[in-house]
Amino acid sequence: MSVAALAALPGVSTASGVAAEAEHAQLTGRVLPVRPELRRLLPSAGLRRGSTIAVRGSVSLLLALLAEATATGSWAAAVGMPDLGLVAAAELGVEVSRLALVPRPGAEFAAVAGALLVGMDVVAVAARGAAPQEVRRLSARARHRGAVLLSLGPWPGAEVELNCVAGRWTGLEGGHGYLRERRVRVQGAGRGAATRPRRADLLLPGSAGAPAAAPEPVLELAREVS
């Protein structure tokens, strides 16, 4: 199923030209870039096409992984994350005009995620309750199509698992002010080239009050699929 075929699913609306641009972007490079402080956590020092990476403990960490790739022209999608914060994504460096959302795929989760893996460079999923066979098929689809599959939460068979542990907030002075940023420690482990445990410190932005303006509207592939 191609990205364009998403239009045949109930409740799905596609933006003009998305499939062509996403497929063009997918032809560039075998490793998608990540922020410098995250490179040591990944065996290829970036998001290797065809790999599956599990992210535990932080949506912000998942967004941080998307930042460099989308900023340098790659397309990404997030499936099953209705509370994903676009302002937070923009603060972390994600190019939200290259981020497609399918917030509530419902029973069509596997079909939607599989279709996006055909045309997108990176697909992030929250696969709550996905059947084991669906998990295996999606990882196989990512390998075959040369896409990167990011899971928010555990994913059986993931090559790399990144775990975000508690961090320290800064910004409050004398009992008042805004939480400006948070320094967290990310621990990485996996199999194959990622067997050796790794860790890195990452600075994540906090809430600096209400923004003056929201970022440009995100490309929304699906408002709701029931």
Q: Which two tokens stand for residue 55?
A: 């992210």
In a domain, 149, yes or no: yes
In a domain, 166, yes or no: no
In a domain, 175, yes or no: no
**CATH, residue 16:** 3.40.50.300
Q: Which two tokens stand for residue 147?
A: 């896409």
**From 16-20, 66-70, 125-129, the region with the lowest mean pLDDT:** 16-20
In a domain, 62, yes or no: yes
Cβ(122)–Cβ(63) below 8 Å: no
In a domain, 63, yes or no: yes
pLDDT the model gives residue 226: 34
Of 150 and 219, more confident? 150
- Greatest extent of the chain over all pairs of C-alpha atoms, in Å: 57
Residue 82: strand, helix, or coil: coil
> What domain range is 30 assigned to?
3-161+214-220
In a domain, 29, yes or no: yes
Of 114 and 15, more confident? 114
Give the position of tokens 């929250």. 126
CA distance 108 to 34: 30
Cβ(205)–Cβ(87) below 8 Å: no
pLDDT the model gives residue 88: 85
Cβ(187)–Cβ(198) below 8 Å: yes
In a domain, 71, yes or no: yes
The percent of residues above 70 in pLDDT, for the chain, comes to 68
- Please count the structural domains in the chain: 1
In a domain, 139, yes or no: yes
pLDDT the model gives residue 154: 93
Task: Tell me the pLDDT tens digit for each residue of 156-214.
Answer: 999 999 998 766 555 545 444 444 566 778 888 877 655 566 778 877 764 333 333 33
